[in-house]
């Protein structure tokens, strides 16, 4: 093995160890607890040594850790889609939503990093994390929506009937993500995501408590049925299988 190959392997190993340590801190204490000193202590180097692998310092480490989280979540959502029949559009849209909710409740700190209020530790990386998540979501849920639209289009507003500002936003989103459906259909898709995110965020951040501090799955499933009904799939909604 050449010296260059050994250096590359050590660099990759160090990068993985740093990202894993950052993830452990985020999971157990939240992103606010991240410091270069604590990460360096965990991997056995000096804080200054971290800059050789992450020139942007703490924000760079947060950016890479967040990318790992996004990749993990997107893979879980895609697996949920792939587990359903290709022509069962209701199931292929609902399955990843259920996985997203379960993931969020089991990974509250990671959810907070990706979808919560920007923090000092995340710095300017927050906008990049959000953009990356939007692109990954489009690859999964957006693709399913495209397939559904091609097979069973439903009534939407014509482009010229949309608020010009909304139409411009939808056109920008379509260009950035490649979700090639009419602007009105995109507006429906993103409105669905707004409802899903809002429902999950309320539960993750305990904003229903103390009035509704029990399991919120029934309310989430009511939302799933409503969203499917709005797209003409209400009769194809199926409740989740009972937990074994």
Confidence class for position 79, pLDDT limits 50, 70, 90 = very high
Does 148 have pLDDT greater than 90?
yes
What span, in angstroms and rounded, lies between the C-alpha atoms of 104 and 113?
A: 11
Domain ranges of the chain: 59-236
C-alpha span between 135 and 140 (Å, rounded): 9
Of the listed ranges 3-17, 151-165, 187-201, the one predicted with least confidence: 3-17
DSSP 243: P
Query: Taking a C-beta distance cutoff of 8 angstroms, is the pair 32, 120 a contact?
Result: yes
The pTM assigned to this predicted structure is: 0.87
pLDDT confidence tier of residue 76, bands split at 50, 70 and 90: very high
- Please state which CATH number belongs to domain 59-236: 1.10.357.10
The per-residue pLDDT for range 17-44, each reduced to its tens digit, is 888 999 999 899 888 888 899 999 998 8
């Amino acid at each position: 093995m050449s010296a260059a190959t050994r250096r590359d392997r050590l660099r990759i190993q160090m990068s993985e160890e740093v990202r894993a340590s950052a993830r452990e801190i985020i999971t157990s204490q939240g992103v606010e607890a991240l410091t270069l000193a604590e990460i360096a202590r965990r991997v056995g180097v000096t804080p200054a040594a971290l800059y050789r692998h992450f020139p942007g310092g703490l924000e760079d480490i947060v950016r890479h850790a967040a990318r790992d989280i996004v990749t993990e979540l997107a893979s879980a959502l895609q697996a949920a889609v792939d587990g359903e029949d290709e022509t069962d559009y209701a199931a292929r849209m609902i399955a990843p939503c259920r996985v997203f909710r379960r993931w969020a409740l089991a990974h509250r700190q990671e959810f907070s990093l990706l979808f919560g209020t920007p923090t000092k530790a995340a710095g300017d990386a927050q906008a990049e994390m959000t953009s990356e998540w939007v692109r990954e979501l489009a690859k999964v849920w957006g693709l399913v929506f495209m397939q559904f639209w091609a097979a069973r289009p439903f009534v939407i507003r014509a482009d010229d009937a949309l608020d010009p500002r909304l139409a411009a936003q939808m056109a920008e989103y379509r260009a950035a993500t490649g979700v090639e459906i009419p602007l009105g259909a995109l507006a429906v898709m993103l409105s669905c995501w707004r409802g899903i995110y809002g429902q999950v965020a309320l539960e993750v951040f305990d904003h229903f408590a103390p009035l509704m501090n029990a399991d919120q799955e029934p309310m989430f499933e009511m939302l799933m049925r409503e969203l499917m009904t709005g797209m003409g799939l209400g009769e194809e909604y199926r409740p989740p299988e009972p937990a074994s």
